[in-house]
Homo-oligomer: A and B are copies of this chain.
């Protein structure tokens, strides 16, 4: 019985993992697009005020079970990885 339940919960976890993967990459593509628009408009890519606002908004909306500190930490990792993507694009552009 509980073996069956374990399998079912694991299957649901795998589904959520794939949804997260899709959403993370959707976010990454959007950040790349934003980077392009910012470049054309002469707006700086990294905006610490805007990043802080995003984090504050997420913590405000956080209903758990993850605590606010963990949400901040995880999103900071996501933001950093996304920004790195813009830097990589810039490097590639310089090499062309």
Of the residues B33, B57, B71, B84, contact of A24 by C-beta under 8 Å:
B71
Q: Is A91 an interface residue (CB 8 A)?
A: no
Chain A binding surface, main DSSP class: helix
Q: For residues 15 through 30 of chain A, which have their beta carbon under 8 Å from a beta carbon of chain B?
A: 16-21, 23-30
Pair B13/A66 contact, Cβ less than 8 Å: no
Of the residues B5, B18, B57, B65, contact of A25 by C-beta under 8 Å:
B65
Which A residues lie at the B interface, using CB under 8 A?
Answer: 2-3, 5-6, 9-10, 12-14, 16-21, 23-34, 37-38, 40-41, 43, 50, 54, 57-58, 61-66, 70-71, 73-75, 77-78, 81, 84-85
